[in-house]
C-alpha cells in the first residue's frame, strides 16, 4: 500500500512538472508568434561587444582609461547628467593623488552657505563633497531638456542590461533612419527634438549625440580622442562609479571556486574510503 501511494505521489509530481514546462513553453511560443511587428521590435539592436579590463579573468581597473573617462564625463556629460552617489575623494581609487583630488573638487561648485549673510549659495567643492546635482528637481530638468529628464549616471551601468556595452553602443549608435526601415514601416519617423538611435528601445532618443566629433576632448596622456575611444572610456568610468569593488569581487571568486573544488574532491575521496570499508564488511 505504501509503495502504491509513493508511486502515485511520484506520478503526480512528474505530471505537475511536465504540465508547468509545457504551459510555459506554449506561453513563450504564443508571445513570440503573436507579438506585433513594429519598427522598434524589428530594428532595435542588441548592444555591441565591449572589452573592458574589468571583464577579464584577472579583473582590474585600467586607471588611465578611467581618468580619461572622468575627463569625458566632466567636459561632455556633466552638463546634463549628475553623479549623485560619487564623492570627489572616491577619485583617489582611480589613480588621482590626494592633492589632485583636492584640486579637482575645487573646480566644481557645490551647495553651501554664505558665512556673512547665511543665505544659500554655491562654494568650491571639497574632497568630502559629492558631485553636485545638475538640476534641483525634475521640473527644472524637464524645462531644460525638451520635457525629458536626464538620468543620474552613478549606477547607470548596473541599471541597464549589459550596462557598459549599452552605454558604449548608445553613444556611438546615432545615425540617419535606414532606408530599409522606412521601406518596411513608412509611418515611422523621428519627431522634432528627438534623435534616431537603434540601440535605444523605441529608436527615438531625446538626448542629442553627446559625442559629435573626434577630438571633442584633449586627453592629457595623448590618446587619440576618437568618438569610439571617448565612448569606451566614459563607459569604463561609469562601470567604476556603479561598482568600484567589481575587480575585488571577481578576484575573491577565484579562491572561493578553488576551495569548493578542493572540498568536492576531499568529499569524494572520503566517500570512496567510507564505502570501501562498508563493502569489505558486507
Judge contact between 69 and 237, C-beta under 8 A.
yes
Judge contact between 76 and 216, C-beta under 8 A.
yes
Q: How many angstroms separate the first and last alpha carbons of the chain?
A: 30
Cell of 187: 509611418
Pick out the residues of the known binding site for heme c.
Answer: 77, 80-81, 207
Cell of 37: 511587428
Burial, 206: exposed, middle or buried (Cβ in 10 Å; 0-12, 13-18, 19+)?
Answer: middle
Pick out the residues of the known binding site.
Answer: 77, 80-81, 207
Distance CA 85, CA 237 (A): 14
Q: Which of 81, 34, 43 is nearest to 202 (CA)?
A: 43
Give Cα separations from 116 to 11, 110, 111, 125 (angstroms): 82, 18, 15, 19
Q: Torsion-angle region of residue 27: left (phi > 0), alpha (psi -120 to 50) or beta?
A: alpha
561587444: which residue's cell? 49
Helices (H), 58-97: 63-75
Distance CA 56, CA 63 (A): 15
Amino acid at each position: 500500500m505504501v509503495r502504491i501511494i509513493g508511486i502515485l505521489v511520484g506520478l503526480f509530481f512528474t505530471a505537475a512538472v511536465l504540465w508547468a514546462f509545457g504551459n510555459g513553453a506554449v506561453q513563450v511560443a504564443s508571445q513570440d508568434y503573436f507579438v506585433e511587428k513594429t519598427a522598434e521590435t524589428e530594428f532595435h539592436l542588441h548592444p555591441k561587444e565591449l572589452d573592458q579590463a574589468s571583464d577579464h579573468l584577472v579583473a582590474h581597473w585600467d586607471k588611465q582609461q578611467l581618468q580619461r573617462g572622468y575627463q569625458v564625463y566632466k567636459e561632455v556629460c556633466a552638463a546634463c547628467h549628475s553623479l549623485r552617489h560619487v564623492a570627489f575623494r572616491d577619485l583617489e581609487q582611480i589613480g588621482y593623488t590626494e592633492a589632485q583630488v583636492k584640486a579637482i573638487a575645487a573646480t566644481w561648485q557645490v551647495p553651501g552657505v554664505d558665512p556673512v549673510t547665511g543665505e544659500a549659495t554655491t562654494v568650491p567643492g571639497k574632497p568630502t563633497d559629492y558631485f553636485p546635482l545638475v538640476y534641483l528637481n525634475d521640473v527644472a530638468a524637464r524645462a531644460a531638456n525638451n520635457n525629458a529628464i536626464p538620468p543620474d549616471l552613478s549606477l547607470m551601468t548596473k541599471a541597464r542590461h549589459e550596462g557598459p556595452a549599452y552605454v558604449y553602443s548608445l553613444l556611438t549608435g546615432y545615425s540617419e533612419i535606414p532606408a530599409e526601415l522606412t521601406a518596411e514601416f513608412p509611418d515611422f519617423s523621428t519627431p522634432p527634438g528627438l534623435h534616431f538611435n537603434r540601440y535605444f528601445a523605441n529608436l527615438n532618443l531625446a538626448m542629442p549625440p553627446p559625442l559629435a566629433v573626434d577630438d571633442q576632448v584633449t586627453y592629457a596622456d595623448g590618446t587619440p580622442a576618437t568618438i569610439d575611444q571617448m565612448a569606451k572610456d566614459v563607459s569604463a568610468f561609469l562601470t567604476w562609479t556603479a561598482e568600484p569593488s567589481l575587480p575585488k569581487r571577481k578576484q575573491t571568486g577565484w579562491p572561493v571556486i578553488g576551495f569548493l573544488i578542493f572540498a568536492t574532491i576531499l568529499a569524494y575521496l572520503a566517500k570512496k574510503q567510507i564505502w570501501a570499508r562498508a563493502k569489505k564488511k558486507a
